[in-house]
A and B are shown apart, each in its own frame.
Chain A
Amino acid sequence: MTEAIVTIDHLRVTFGKGADTVTAVKDVSFSIAPGETVCVVGESGSGKSVTSLSLMRLVEFGGGSIVDGRLTLMRKDGPIDLAQADTTTMRSIRGRDIGMIFQEPMTSLNPVFTIERQLTDGLRLHLGLTGSAARARALQLLRDVRIPEPERRLKQYPHELSGGMRQRVVIAIAMACEPRLLIADEPTTALDVTIQAEILALINRLKREKGMAVMFITHDMAVVAQIADRVVVMYRGDVVEEGPVAEIFANPKAEYTKALLAAVPRLGEMQGKAAPEPLRLVGQKFVPKSLPPAAQPEPLLEVKNLTTYFPVRGGPLRRHTANVHAVEDVSFTLNKGETLSLVGESGCGKSSCGRSILRLVEPTSGSVMLDRKDVLACNPRDLRHLRRDMQMIFQDPFASLNPYMRLMAQVAEPLRNFGLATGSDLIDRVAALFDRVDLPRSYMRRFPHELSGGQRQRIAIARALAVNPKLIIADEAVSALDVSVQAQVLNLMMELQADLGLSFLFISHDMAVVERVSHHVAVMYLGRIVEIGPRAAIFENPQHAYTKTLMLAVPIADPNTRKLDSDLSFKPIPSPMHDRSYRPTPSTYDTVAPGHLVLRD
């Protein structure tokens, strides 16, 4: 092995003082060689970001301090210990020897400065470039990161660029002085899957062309499989395992790595299976049963031509000037005891569709039949009663529970609303619901802030189950959870379906999760369903161009199936906002196979 660019040696980082001291990184050692991508992977609280911030000595700005260890960086004039370096030295290293990109492209750029200014101030500082030379270099950088119309971009402000383009600019800034090490801290977590694929391919290409080393921080094993040469697995401030990527995936040694990998759904692993199947988690007492496919499908929810527009108002009198076409002529059927997934990227209308069905937003037109009852036609009183049959689980487990209400009261609320139980009967039923979602009864007296994210999501499920609904709409219900917790919640949902015959409308952006849980899948794009059909048909025989794009973009948690060889560039999604006079064409479909429909463009 060649001499490492960076060697982290027994790093220890703490936050706070005295009795409040928290050790974020306990004892971390690993090194990064030139031209190598090292992925540091772990769930929240593992200390992976703190490790990367320590290398830049940015951790001090967040109140942390490096209390022990050496951070050796090889510079042209020899090695230097970053843990001991003074402020001036660190400033000459940041942006020059080490570049860094961050998670949030929307806030990574200064909103009041032009792109040119933000690109060139590093060049001025480290390379002494000024005026036209700096400008020319900035243009070249924008070309390197494949931003269209680079001349125009220079004069623009961050808000005029899309999220993906902003992340390209942030990468250009980090690459400006050709650093020998690029630190990328969850750079694609906030991005849609197609943009993520583009950015991963870009980082991979830049690494090859410039021969720099990359330290890539992520929680996503699929991304690790796609981009890493070597992997460092972190857990609660310690390195639990380190090794080449193929080795880690094929033959994990640490218990934690095994558990983590078992919890990750892998795109394609459901091939040839008839029905959804719970994940086999490490340390699980029982072997989860496979769900048998329904013998005779019986429709529960029938949605026809559902359309939801959001009015855009402008002017001093707040006149209705335009519409956001959130849901456009959507039709589908969900059978009893089955799961239909709505999958798509942000802004495709999948959430609005779910909320329209519940009438949490009022649809513009169309019909929704739940068990032969017309949801859209009923008056507010009937609607309230109809809602007993359909419940919802939301994305953010922190925001979907009232912080000032005991968990018992929150789970009991639907029962009280409909007068279904009182007194000790109410308490018994709530206790039974806690048992059902595997939460100890002692939690009934607690408040939401005393629970973890996964536990809160269980409460949300218990609340949804309280009134024995037939349909549960789960809107990105597991996306905010760490992967191991996500697997547990997914398994719980599948178990409930098998036991209670529930139907799920599962709204998600995660193709691998969708493949795992669904009977049927509908792919949404710009408010419409572009392709719908049985899960196997969609994943094994995608027909619509957009479905194929999604399949191509989804990272697979298997280092033998790499997709990042060439630069990727997908068509950006157009705006769903139209003038009031705009009349969209109706959705018409071609039937590829029984039940497998593809939108005619």
Chain B
Amino acid sequence: MRGFLTAKGLIGAGIVMLVLAIALLAPLVIPDRMATAMDMRARLSGPSLSHIFGTDQLGRDLFFRVMLGAQTSVLIAGSAVLMSIVIGLPLGIVSGYYGGVIDNVLMRLVDTLLSFPALLLALTISAVLGPNLTNTIIAIGIAFTPFLARIIRGEALRVAQMPYVEAARAAGTTDFMMIVRHILPNIMPAIIVQGTISLAFAILAEAGLSFLGLGTQPPDASWGLMIQASRDYLDVAPWTALVPGAAVAITVLGLNMFGDVLRDVLDPRTAT
């Protein structure tokens, strides 16, 4: 546990907790009108005492919009990663633990899916289903599944070959109990680490999708959407892009730092 007590661990955990707190609390604390109130006289005004992060093209306060955008971004990224783990976990375990024909077929499919860039896959699915919040989750979730299934399969395979699994089999443990008692607990650290890193990628993916107009749609507010809206005003009001961009970057940085430290603590084999 000492790994968390490094600068990296503390900063990473701090950022992650801060973003989570904002995502959960901002919608309760900040009245909706603070973020939607348009002040046409203060359109595209720079950071000042009354608007500390400045305002957007409709004169809305960027500070409050970024705070409220956190909820959407975190919700989408979290649900998408959860979805890919929920699909990828059984696939990966079955493939890695049982091996054989199932493994061959599943992994051939997964390898092929990995030829599709995740962002392209997510964009295509989102475009085809019609972009909205739910479909963005589905799109990112599906796009990330092959990657997670592959990782989980590799871990399950590694654990299935450990002597303690053989010892348990020799002691009469059934396949089901083997997975529950031995496989799952031993692949959990890797899943937690990969889940954290995937969360960072999912935040980026959501921002990318929304930036291209194929993710979250107004009136939902997300960071990617804010950056998209800023594109036409880059020259006159660069802060409209930089503020939500920095929010994405800091969140992803925090997740990556947290993931690195988690990996050092939980999964020393793959430590970088």
**Which residues from A are CB-within-8-Å of B162?**
399
Given A413-B173, A467-B171, check contact A394 B166 (CB 8 Å).
yes
- Contact between chains at A417 and B174 (CB < 8 Å): yes
**A391 vs B164: C-alpha distance in the bound complex, in angstroms?**
13
- Contact between chains at B185 and A392 (CB < 8 Å): no
- Contact between chains at B186 and A402 (CB < 8 Å): yes
Given A399-B163, A399-B164, A400-B163, check contact A413 B185 (CB 8 Å).
no
Given A402-B185, A404-B186, A405-B181, check contact A417 B172 (CB 8 Å).
yes
**Which residues from A are CB-within-8-Å of B167?**
392, 394, 400-401, 460, 463
- Contact between chains at B171 and A387 (CB < 8 Å): yes
**A399 vs B186: C-alpha distance in the bound complex, in angstroms?**
12
**Which residues from B are CB-within-8-Å of A395?**
163
Q: Would you give the shortest CB distance from B97 to chain A, in whole angstroms?
A: 15
**Complex interface bits, A131-144 against B, C-beta within 8 A gives 1, otherwise 0:** 00000000000000
Q: Would you give the shortest CB distance from A461 to chain B, in whole angstroms?
A: 11
**Which residues from B are CB-within-8-Å of A360?**
166, 169-170
**Which residues from B are CB-within-8-Å of A571?**
none
Question: Is B124 interfacial (CB-CB < 8 Å)?
Answer: no
**A405 vs B171: C-alpha distance in the bound complex, in angstroms?**
15
- Contact between chains at B163 and A385 (CB < 8 Å): no
Tell me the B158-180 residues at the A interface (CB within 8 Å). 162-164, 166-174, 177
Closest residue of A by beta carbon distance from B172: A417
Question: Is B104 interfacial (CB-CB < 8 Å)?
Answer: yes
- Contact between chains at B170 and A404 (CB < 8 Å): no
When A and B form their complex, what is the total count of cross-chain residue pairs whose Cβ atoms lie within 8 Å? Answer: 64
- Contact between chains at B185 and A405 (CB < 8 Å): yes
Question: Is B51 interfacial (CB-CB < 8 Å)?
Answer: no
Closest residue of A by beta carbon distance from B167: A400
**A414 vs B169: C-alpha distance in the bound complex, in angstroms?**
9
Q: Would you give the shortest CB distance from B156 to chain A, in whole angstroms?
A: 14
- Contact between chains at B172 and A402 (CB < 8 Å): no
**A400 vs B164: C-alpha distance in the bound complex, in angstroms?**
4
Tell me the A446-478 residues at the B interface (CB within 8 Å). 460, 463, 466-467
Question: Is B8 interfacial (CB-CB < 8 Å)?
Answer: no
Question: Is B182 interfacial (CB-CB < 8 Å)?
Answer: yes
**Which residues from A are CB-within-8-Å of B104?**
318
Q: Of the candidates A394, A401, A414, which one forms a contact with B172 in the assembled complex, judged by CB atoms under 8 Å apart?
A: A414
Q: Would you give the shortest CB distance from A201 to chain B, in whole angstroms?
A: 35
**Which residues from B are CB-within-8-Å of A124?**
none
**A508 vs B166: C-alpha distance in the bound complex, in angstroms?**
19
Question: Is A388 interfacial (CB-CB < 8 Å)?
Answer: yes
**Which residues from A are CB-within-8-Å of B163?**
394-396, 399-400
Closest residue of B by beta carbon distance from A394: B163
- Contact between chains at A387 and B170 (CB < 8 Å): yes
**Which residues from B are CB-within-8-Å of A418?**
172
Closest residue of A by beta carbon distance from B164: A402
Q: Would you give the shortest CB distance from A316 to chain B, in whole angstroms?
A: 10
**A395 vs B166: C-alpha distance in the bound complex, in angstroms?**
12
Q: Would you give the shortest CB distance from B166 to chain A, in whole angstroms?
A: 6
Which 10 A-B pairs give the minimum distances between C-beta atoms?
Answer: A414-B171, A400-B163, A404-B185, A417-B172, A394-B163, A402-B164, A392-B170, A399-B163, A384-B172, A387-B172
**A414 vs B181: C-alpha distance in the bound complex, in angstroms?**
13
**Which residues from B are CB-within-8-Å of A355?**
166
Closest residue of B by beta carbon distance from A360: B166
**Complex interface bits, A428-460 against B, C-beta within 8 A gives 1, otherwise 0:** 000000000000000000000000000000001
Interface residues of A (CB under 8 A from B): 318, 355, 358, 360, 384-385, 387-388, 390-392, 394-396, 399-405, 413-414, 417-418, 460, 463, 466-467
- Contact between chains at B172 and A388 (CB < 8 Å): yes
Q: Would you give the shortest CB distance from A430 to chain B, in whole angstroms?
A: 13
- Contact between chains at A391 and B171 (CB < 8 Å): yes
Q: Would you give the shortest CB distance from A444 to chain B, in whole angstroms?
A: 17
Known: A392-B167, A399-B163, A413-B171. 12 other contacts (CB 8 A): A385-B172, A390-B170, A394-B163, A395-B163, A400-B167, A402-B185, A404-B186, A405-B185, A414-B171, A417-B174, A417-B177, A466-B171
**A321 vs B185: C-alpha distance in the bound complex, in angstroms?**
37
Closest residue of A by beta carbon distance from B101: A318
Given A399-B162, A402-B185, check contact A358 B172 (CB 8 Å).
no
Closest residue of B by beta carbon distance from A386: B172
Interface residues of B (CB under 8 A from A): 104, 162-164, 166-174, 177, 181-182, 185-186, 188
**A318 vs B100: C-alpha distance in the bound complex, in angstroms?**
11
Closest residue of A by beta carbon distance from B166: A360
* 10 pairs from A and B in contact (CB 8 Å cutoff): A355-B166, A387-B170, A399-B162, A400-B166, A400-B167, A402-B164, A402-B182, A402-B186, A413-B168, A463-B167
**Which residues from A are CB-within-8-Å of B169?**
360
**A400 vs B174: C-alpha distance in the bound complex, in angstroms?**
18
**A391 vs B170: C-alpha distance in the bound complex, in angstroms?**
6
Closest residue of B by beta carbon distance from A473: B170
**A204 vs B164: C-alpha distance in the bound complex, in angstroms?**
42
**A402 vs B182: C-alpha distance in the bound complex, in angstroms?**
7
Closest residue of B by beta carbon distance from A383: B172
**Which residues from A are CB-within-8-Å of B170?**
358, 360, 387, 390-392
- Contact between chains at B174 and A401 (CB < 8 Å): no
**A170 vs B169: C-alpha distance in the bound complex, in angstroms?**
41
Q: Would you give the shortest CB distance from B113 to chain A, in whole angstroms?
A: 19
**Which residues from B are CB-within-8-Å of A385?**
172
**Which residues from A are CB-within-8-Å of B174?**
384, 417
**A454 vs B145: C-alpha distance in the bound complex, in angstroms?**
43
Closest residue of A by beta carbon distance from B165: A402
- Contact between chains at B171 and A463 (CB < 8 Å): yes
**A460 vs B186: C-alpha distance in the bound complex, in angstroms?**
19
**A236 vs B169: C-alpha distance in the bound complex, in angstroms?**
39
Q: Would you give the shortest CB distance from B192 to chain A, in whole angstroms?
A: 13
Closest residue of B by beta carbon distance from A317: B104
Q: Would you give the shortest CB distance from B196 to chain A, in whole angstroms?
A: 19
Q: Of the candidates A358, A402, A460, which one forms a contact with B181 in the assembled complex, judged by CB atoms under 8 Å apart?
A: A402
**A394 vs B167: C-alpha distance in the bound complex, in angstroms?**
8
Q: Would you give the shortest CB distance from A465 to chain B, in whole angstroms?
A: 11
Q: Would you give the shortest CB distance from A90 to chain B, in whole angstroms?
A: 30
**Which residues from A are CB-within-8-Å of B182?**
402, 405
**Which residues from A are CB-within-8-Å of B168?**
402, 413
Q: Would you give the shortest CB distance from B80 to chain A, in whole angstroms?
A: 28
**A467 vs B186: C-alpha distance in the bound complex, in angstroms?**
25
**A391 vs B163: C-alpha distance in the bound complex, in angstroms?**
13
Which of A355, A384, A401, A404 counts the most B-chain CB atoms under 10 A from its CB? A404
Q: Would you give the shortest CB distance from A17 to chain B, in whole angstroms?
A: 15
**A417 vs B166: C-alpha distance in the bound complex, in angstroms?**
14
Closest residue of A by beta carbon distance from B185: A404
**A553 vs B246: C-alpha distance in the bound complex, in angstroms?**
69
**Which residues from B are CB-within-8-Å of A394?**
163, 166-167
Q: Would you give the shortest CB distance from A458 to chain B, in whole angstroms?
A: 14
Q: Would you give the shortest CB distance from A306 to chain B, in whole angstroms?
A: 17
**A370 vs B232: C-alpha distance in the bound complex, in angstroms?**
81
- Contact between chains at A413 and B166 (CB < 8 Å): no
**Which residues from B are CB-within-8-Å of A400?**
163-164, 166-167
**Which residues from A are CB-within-8-Å of B172?**
384-385, 387-388, 414, 417-418, 467
Closest residue of B by beta carbon distance from A415: B171
Q: Would you give the shortest CB distance from B174 to chain A, in whole angstroms?
A: 7
**A210 vs B14: C-alpha distance in the bound complex, in angstroms?**
64
Q: Would you give the shortest CB distance from B3 to chain A, in whole angstroms?
A: 14
Q: Would you give the shortest CB distance from A469 to chain B, in whole angstroms?
A: 10
- Contact between chains at B171 and A401 (CB < 8 Å): no
Q: Of the candidates B164, B177, B185, which one forms a contact with A401 in the assembled complex, judged by CB atoms under 8 Å apart?
A: B164
**A390 vs B172: C-alpha distance in the bound complex, in angstroms?**
10
**Which residues from B are CB-within-8-Å of A417?**
171-174, 177
Closest residue of B by beta carbon distance from A387: B172
Q: Would you give the shortest CB distance from B52 to chain A, in whole angstroms?
A: 43
